[in-house]
Amino acid sequence: MASGLSALEPGEFILLIVSIVGLAPILLRYTSEAKWFAVGYGCIVVGLIATNAEGIALGGVFNGIEHSVGIMGAGITFAYAVYDRRQTLVAAADDAAAESETNDGTAASVGIDAPEA
């Protein structure tokens, strides 16, 4: 095991720098609608930090963090983000259909199944 910064692989270190730089716009443009995207991206950054730290010390521990938080955590978070977004869109479409039905007494088709105007 190499010691210090010589243990860092250049490709992994560059990925870490790019991900940290990319974290700035995500945090600056944070909205409640995109919260799960921010959490997923944070998991990726934690995984990249662990990837670089495993070459310096506690390789097994940081390898576990990389795979559990960085890869699995990001995957689960992004999958939930897609599910949550879909549920939000379906609820909005249902609300719009119910509102349209109460306004004119007819059911309106809303969403991806709606006929084009």
Does residue 32 lie within any of the structural domains? yes
Banded model confidence at residue 113, pLDDT cuts 50, 70, 90: low
β strands within the chain, DSSP E = none
Q: What pLDDT does residue 95 have?
A: 87
Interval 27-74: pLDDT, tens: 898 888 889 999 999 999 999 999 999 888 888 999 999 999 999 999
d(CA 24, CA 8): 23
d(CA 18, CA 44): 12
Does residue 113 lie within any of the structural domains? no
Give yes or no for a contact between 110 and 97, defined as CB atoms under 8 angstroms apart.
yes
Does residue 117 lie within any of the structural domains? no
Task: State percent of the chain over pLDDT 90.
Answer: 55
Please report how many Cα atoms fall inside a 13 Å half-sphere around the Cα of residue 65, on the Cβ side: 17
More confident residue, 114 or 65: 65
Domain count, the chain: 1
pTM above 0.75, yes or no: no
Closest CA to 63 of 23, 1, 71, 39: 71
Does residue 4 lie within any of the structural domains? no
Q: Is the pLDDT of residue 75 over 70?
A: yes
| Domain assignment of residue 62, given as a range | 9-101
Q: What pLDDT does residue 68 have?
A: 95
Q: Is the pLDDT of residue 79 over 90?
A: yes
